[in-house]
Amino acid sequence: MISVVTVNYKTVDYTLKMLESLFTHHVKEAVEVFVVENASGDSMEEVRARFPQVTVIESDVNLGFAGGCNLGIQKATGDYVVLINPDIVFVDEALYMMQDHMNNDTEVGIGGASLKNMDGTQQDCVWRFPTPLDQLFLLLKFNHVFPNHPILQRWLMKDFTYGRTQNVDQVMGAFFYIRRKVIEQIGPMDDDFFMWYEEVDYCKRAKISDWHVRYYHDVVAKHKKGSSFDRVPTIKKQTMLRKSIRRYMRKHYGAVVGSLFVVGEPVFFLLSLVASILKPI
């Protein structure tokens, strides 16, 4: 059994398209699906009417992405739990293909797919683990001034060959295939990450526990990218991003490094305010 968990936040239109594509290519008896409505106010009536095989979980409060996923993970019974964004579109039997790979590759704890833009072009979907330096570059907006700086290029893995299956540090959380044994060993996602870096943290924890994270080039899905955040003001997105970076740095680099990101918060906030003025949404 494969368990699919998707978190809906003002994305019911995307959620419906994702479910339609999922069940077009996968037999409902082999896949259990949980849709978590994360207190966005979206009605789930059409989801229930069109897809009665789907279990809808409605949260009274917005728990963030990790917290929402955990509601589904708690109820999932599959040997694999797959976190799928509402803006994913399945084009083939990707869930089965990944299952076959991971059944054979027993050392792989987390699998990621080759995500394509809606026009079929390759989307960046793997990165190296963030370091204090590249995250400072990001928060200081150096990525807009020096987009080709080696520090940023390294983190963003601009040298990555997407046409080859290989082990990586992290894969995108939009299509995040987790082996049940990993969840049993390291637990669910850290819901102190409200949004962003929760999958980075999960990959880091899995690798610390000697699991591999693997990108599979032949498992493909389309990804609209940023559907929920197209509808969130930039200043709010920037606030969530900074909080998640602080959490990640403190958790994986210690209190001293984490404190640098606390001390720098006034500067980071001012720069994010400028960014929100230039790009409100």
Which CATH number do you get for residue 35?
Answer: 3.90.550.10
- Is there a domain that residue 136 lies in? no
- Residue 227 pLDDT > 70, yes or no? no
The 10s digit of each residue's pLDDT in 77-132 is 999 999 999 999 999 999 999 999 999 999 999 999 999 999 999 999 999 999 99
Domain hosting 169: range is: 2-122+162-225
How many domains does the chain divide into? 1
The 10s digit of each residue's pLDDT in 46-76 is 999 999 999 999 999 999 999 999 999 999 9
What's the pLDDT score for residue 278? 67
- Is there a domain that residue 81 lies in? yes
What's the pLDDT score for residue 260? 95
- Is there a domain that residue 71 lies in? yes
What's the whole-number mean pLDDT along residues 169-173? 98
What angle in degrees, to the nearest 10, is found between the helix axes of 234-253 and 132-139? 160
Q: Give the C-alpha separation, 98 to 140, whole Å.
A: 38
- Is there a domain that residue 62 lies in? yes
What's the pLDDT score for residue 212? 98
What percentage of the chain carries pLDDT values higher than 70?
A: 96
The 10s digit of each residue's pLDDT in 187-223 is 999 999 999 999 999 999 999 999 999 999 999 999 9
DSSP secondary structure letters along the chain? -EEEEEEESS-HHHHHHHHHHHHHHS-GGGEEEEEEE-SS----HHHHHH-TTSEEEE-SS--HHHHHHHHHHHH--SSEEEEE-TTEEE-S-HHHHHHHHHHH-TTEEEEEEEEE-TTS-B---EEPPP-HHHHHHHHTTHHHH-TT-HHHHHHTTTT--TTS-EE-SEE-TTEEEEEHHHHHHH-S--TT--SSSHHHHHHHHHHHTT-EEEEEEEEEEEE---TTGGGS-HHHHHHHHHHHHHHHHHHHH-HHHHHHHHHTHHHHHHHHHHHHHH---
Q: Give the C-alpha separation, 96 to 30, whole Å.
A: 9
- Residue 281 pLDDT > 60, yes or no? no
The 10s digit of each residue's pLDDT in 73-88 is 999 999 999 999 999 9
Do residues 192 and 143 lie in contact, with contact meaning Cβ atoms separated by under 8 Å?
A: no
- Is there a domain that residue 201 lies in? yes
- Residue 156 pLDDT > 80, yes or no? yes
The CA angle 64-204-236, to the nearest 5 degrees, is 30
- Is there a domain that residue 137 lies in? no
- Is there a domain that residue 193 lies in? yes
- Is there a domain that residue 80 lies in? yes
Distances (CA, A) of 140 to 12, 117, 211: 35, 28, 33
Which residues, listed in sequence order, are joined to residue 179 by a DSSP beta bridge? 80
- Residue 228 pLDDT > 80, yes or no? no
pTM of the complete model: 0.94
The CA angle 21-25-30, to the nearest 5 degrees, is 115
